[in-house]
Amino acid sequence: DAKTTQPPSMDCAEGRAANLPCNHSTISGNEYVYWYRQIHSQGPQYIIHGLKNNETNEMASLIITEDRKSSTLILPHATLRDTAVYYCIVRVDTNAGKSTFGDGTTLTVKP
Amino acid sequence: GAVVSQHPSRVICKSGTSVKIECRSLDFQATTMFWYRQFPKKSLMLMATSNEGSKATYEQGVEKDKFLINHASLTLSTLTVTSAHPEDSSFYICSADRLAGVSAQYFGPGTRLLVL
């Protein structure tokens, strides 16, 4: 799986949008971009994923650049409960597609 | 979203004993499950890929005789830490892929193992 690069930490004010970047410059054509988050002492929670089009669900939006070498996860109105470690992962969409976790971004939402 | 459960959520055992951790997909079938371990303030490290009806595939550096994996059905995988030692103390997390369609890995809540 391709390697991803994320900033180690970010702060965001409560109620504002949180934009979390991810670089995946070596992504292959059959690899999807997945985002997960992990709140302390819990298992990772799936947020969103996409191949090349922008995606939106009830939790977040995912913006993937046209060359697919980077993406941004957007939490439109961050709350204190969004404080977590956010992981960007690229993996093939098969039942054997392993998820290789990097160090992620620790997002701290402040009141 | 899909639900994956783990049991137990927390276990304390004596050095030298074996501990079994169960991972279940509750509302979907999974031919493939993954086992991770996570040390404090570190990222998840993939240990092995569990395949229903066949042998698990272990990542480099993971002892297959130490961490026994069984995936006997499409909804259950087990990880047994044999002859546990204090250095095996960690947070163990499983994940499961849906059987078909565009898959997202769904993770269990994790099992915290403390070996005394």
pLDDT for residue A71 is more than 60: yes
All residues of chain B having their beta carbon less than 8 Å from the beta carbon of residue A38 are 44
The reported pLDDT for the residue numbered B1 is 62
- Residue contact A44–B107, C-beta within 8 A: yes
- Residue contact B44–A44, C-beta within 8 A: yes
Q: How many CA atoms lie within 13 A of B85 on its CB side?
A: 2
The reported pLDDT for the residue numbered A30 is 87
Rounded CA-CA distance B27/B22 in Å is 16
Q: If you measure CA to CA, which chain A residue comes closest to B32?
A: A95
Strand partners, A79: none
Distance from CA of B82 to the nearest CA of A (A): 23
All residues of chain B having their beta carbon less than 8 Å from the beta carbon of residue A101 are 36, 43-46
Which of B52, B26, B115, B96 has its CA nearest to residue A99?
B96
**Per-residue confidence in pLDDT tens, chain B, 116 aa:** 668 999 999 999 999 999 999 999 998 888 889 999 999 989 999 999 988 888 899 999 999 999 999 988 889 999 999 999 999 999 999 998 876 555 678 899 999 999 99
User: How distant, in Å, are the alpha carbons of B49, B64, B74 from that of B115?
Assistant: 24, 19, 30
Helix/strand number for chain B, H first, E second: 0, 11
Rounded CA-CA distance A31/A26 in Å is 10
Concatenating the DSSP letter of every residue in A63-77 gives EE-TTSSEEEEEETT
Strand, coil or helix: A90: strand
Which residues are CB-contacts of B105 (< 8 A; sequence separation ≥ 6)? A34, A46, A91, A99, B34, B95, B96, B97
